[in-house]
Amino acid sequence: MRPIVLSIAVAGLSTAVATAAPLKLDNSQLDQAAAGVAVYSGNGNGNGNIGTGNGNGNGNGNTGSLSGNINGNFNVGVANGNGNGNGNTGSVNGNVNGNFNVGVLNGNRNGNTYDANGNAGFMNGGTNNVGAFNGNNNGGSTNGNGNTGAFNGNNNGNGNTSPTSGTYNGNGNTGAFNGNNNGNYNTSSFSGNYNGNNNAGALSGNYNGNFNH
């Protein structure tokens, strides 16, 4: 067995954090790592949080080894430690971000690699979404953008008969399950706009501005 050692130092935390113990990979795992298959990635994320909408959408969509680990843990408050350590290619990227925050909207969007649309993570649509399952199944480019965390900004602005309806919904949310199912199936003009935006936490800004006739 060939040993490989991962030592992740955590700087800037008053809480003492020990360096990770030596981590040994067997020959098969080392061969996988050399071939670009993720080994020991996406572990230890989103644990021990207290409050609402903390520690979501971390450690997703990494290619390589030892990436996207130990993000979004032990936060207290609202919408802390979301959207960290996503979309990295290579080894030992996007680790130890967004931990030990207290308050609101701290420790988000760290250690990510962004694609051409400004997204980082797994199964994100729209633009500038970070985490997992954000910004999908939206009608029009003004819906479901700039979200951080998981399951934010989805299913907005669909089935409207007027181009002036169902716009600017589900944007700028942080946490989980925010800004979904807004501005759909309106038949009147200038209906179902600007709903479900800029929420922090969980389960906010959903099912607004629908079915206006």
d(CA 207, CA 145): 17
Confidence of residue 25 (pLDDT cuts 50, 70, 90): low
Q: Report pLDDT for 3.
A: 44
Residue identified by tokens 């959903």 is 206
Residue 113 structure tokens: 């690699």
**pLDDT band at residue 1, thresholds of 50, 70 and 90?**
very low
| pLDDT for 145 | 98
Q: Which is nearest to 99 in space by CA: 199, 9, 208, 210?
A: 9
Q: Are 28 and 55 in contact (CB under 8 A)?
A: no
Count other C-beta atoms under 10 Å from residue 9's C-beta.
9
Q: Give CA angle at 133 (131, 136), nearest 5°.
A: 125
Q: What is the pLDDT of residues 130-176, one digit of tens each?
A: 999 999 999 999 999 999 999 999 999 999 999 999 999 999 999 99
Q: Is the pLDDT of residue 29 over 80?
A: no
Taking only the tens place, the pLDDT of each residue in 44-78 is 999 999 999 999 999 999 998 999 999 999 999 99
Q: How confident is the model at residue 26 (pLDDT cuts 50, 70, 90)?
A: low
pLDDT, position 67: 96
pTM for this structure? 0.84
How sure is the predictor about 39, in pLDDT bands with cuts at 50, 70 and 90? Answer: confident
Give me the residue label for tokens 């996406």.
42
CA triplet 209, 52, 62: central angle to 5 degrees? 90
The predicted-structure confidence for 92-134, as pLDDT tens digits, reads as follows 999 999 999 999 999 999 999 999 999 999 999 999 999 999 9
